[in-house]
Structure 1
Amino acid sequence: MRARDKFIVVALIALFVVVSGAAIAIDRAETKTIVPAYGGTYVEGVTSAAQYLNPVLAATPVDDDVVRLVFSGLTRFRSDGSIEGDLAQSFSTSEDGKVWAFHIRDDATWQDGKPVISDDVVYTVALLQDKAYVGPYSDAFRGVKVERVDDRVVRFTLPDAYGPFAASTTVPLLPSHLLAKVDYTGLPRVAFNQHPVGSGPFRVIEADARQTILGRNDSFYRTLPDRTRPYLDRLVLRSYPDTSEALTALGRGEIDGVGGLSTGDAERARGLKNVNLFSFGTNDFTALFLNVRPDKAMFRDRAVRQAIATAIDRGRVLQVAADGRGAVADEFVPQSSWAYIRDITRYTRSYDDAKALLDAADWKDHDGDGVRDRGGVKLSFAITTSNEPARVAAALQISDDLAAIGIRVELKAMPFTELIENAVPDRTYDALLIGVNVSGDPDPYSFFHSSEVKDPGRNFSGYFTFTMDRSLEAARRTTDQTKRRELYTIRASACGTPRTGM
Structure 2
Amino acid sequence: MTQSIRWQILLILLGIVLVGVLLTYLAVNYTTEVRPGRGGTYVEGLAGYPHFLNPLLSAYSQTDRDLCSLIFSGLPRQDEDGHLVGDLARDWDVTIDGLVYTFRLRTDARWHDGTPVTAADVVFTLGLLQDADFPGPPELGQALWQTVTIESPNSNTVRINLPEPVEDGLETSYAPFLDYTTIGILPVHLLGDVSAAALPESSFNMRPVGSGPFRLDEMEVEDGLVSSVVLQQHAAYHGDQPLIERIQFRFYESRQAVLDAYADGQIEGIGGLTPSELPQARSFPTLRLYSAPMAETAMVLLNLADPELPFFQETEVRQALLYSLDRQSVIDEAMGGQALIAHSPLMPGTWGDAAAV
TM score, norm. by length of structure 1: 0.57
- In terms of Rg, which structure is larger? 2
Quote the Cα distance in structure 2 between the aligned partners of 1:145 and 1:230: 35
Shift of 1:200: 0.5
Question: In structure 2, what is the equivalent of residue 23 of structure 1?
Answer: none
Quote the Cα distance in structure 2 between the aligned partners of 1:301 and 1:155: 44
Contact 1:79 1:337 in 2 (8 A): no
Question: In structure 2, what is the equivalent of residue 340 of structure 1?
Answer: 353
Quote the Cα distance in structure 2 between the aligned partners of 1:284 and 1:262: 13
Q: Deviation per CA, 1:105-156, whole angstroms, max 9, x where unpaired?
A: 1111111111111111111111111112242431332222212322212222
Quote the Cα distance in structure 1 between the aligned partners of 2:345 and 2:93: 28
Q: Deviation per CA, 1:244-277, whole angstroms, max 9, x where unpaired?
A: 2211221122210112223332211211232223
Shift of 1:95: 4.9
Contact 1:141 1:168 in 2 (8 A): no
Question: In structure 2, what is the equivalent of residue 130 of structure 1?
Answer: 131
Choose the corresponding residue for 2:163, options 135, 159, 162. Answer: 159
Shift of 1:80: 4.6
Q: Which structure is higher in RCO with an 8 Å CA cutoff and minimum separation 6? A: 1
1:210 partnered with 2:223: no
1:190 partnered with 2:202: yes
Shift of 1:282: 1.9
1:299 partnered with 2:321: no
Quote the Cα distance in structure 2 between the aligned partners of 1:96 and 1:264: 46
Shift of 1:325: 2.1
Q: Partner letter of residue 129 of structure 1?
A: Q
Quote the Cα distance in structure 1 between the aligned partners of 2:243 and 2:187: 26
Q: Deviation per CA, 1:44-85, whole angstroms, max 9, x where unpaired?
A: 111112212111222532221111111101112244544332
Contact 2:135 2:197 in 1 (8 A): no
Quote the Cα distance in structure 2 between the aligned partners of 1:288 and 1:315: 15
1:99/1:310 CA distance change after superposition, 3 Å: closer
Choose the corresponding residue for 2:213, options 193, 201, 205. Answer: 201
Shift of 1:343: 4.9
Q: Deviation per CA, 1:364-392, whole angstroms, max 9, x where unpaired?
A: xxxxxxxxxxxxxxxxxxxxxxxxxxxxx
Name the % identity. Answer: 36
Residue correspondence of structure 1 range 483-502 to structure 2 within 5 A: none
Q: Partner letter of residue 70 of structure 2?
A: L
Contact 2:110 2:117 in 1 (8 A): yes
Shift of 1:181: 1.2
Question: In structure 1, what is the equivalent of residue 333 of structure 2?
Answer: 320
Q: Partner letter of residue 67 of structure 1?
A: C
Residue correspondence of structure 1 range 367-386 to structure 2 within 5 A: none
Aligned residues: 307
Shift of 1:212: 1.2
Choose the corresponding residue for 2:297, options 267, 270, 285. Answer: 285
Q: Deviation per CA, 1:463-497, whole angstroms, max 9, x where unpaired?
A: xxxxxxxxxxxxxxxxxxxxxxxxxxxxxxxxxxx
1:252/1:342 CA distance change after superposition, 3 Å: same
Contact 1:216 1:230 in 2 (8 A): yes
Quote the Cα distance in structure 2 between the aligned partners of 1:265 and 1:278: 14
Residue correspondence of structure 1 range 99-178 to structure 2 within 5 A: 99-136=100-137, 137-138=140-141, 139-160=143-164, 161-178=173-190
Shift of 1:43: 0.8
Quote the Cα distance in structure 1 between the aligned partners of 2:34 and 2:296: 29
Quote the Cα distance in structure 1 between the aligned partners of 2:263 and 2:278: 13
1:261 partnered with 2:273: yes
TM score, norm. by length of structure 2: 0.79
1:325/1:156 CA distance change after superposition, 3 Å: closer
1:180 partnered with 2:192: yes
RMSD: 2.3
Q: Partner letter of residue 156 of structure 2?
A: R
Contact 1:331 1:341 in 2 (8 A): no
Question: In structure 1, what is the equivalent of residue 247 of structure 2?
Answer: 235
Residue correspondence of structure 1 range 333-412 to structure 2 within 5 A: 333-343=346-356
> What stretches of structure 1 of length at least 5 have no aligned partner?
1-32, 224-228, 345-502
Q: Partner letter of residue 311 of structure 1?
A: S
Q: Deviation per CA, 1:169-191, whole angstroms, max 9, x where unpaired?
A: 21111111111111112222332
Quote the Cα distance in structure 2 between the aligned partners of 1:131 and 1:88: 27
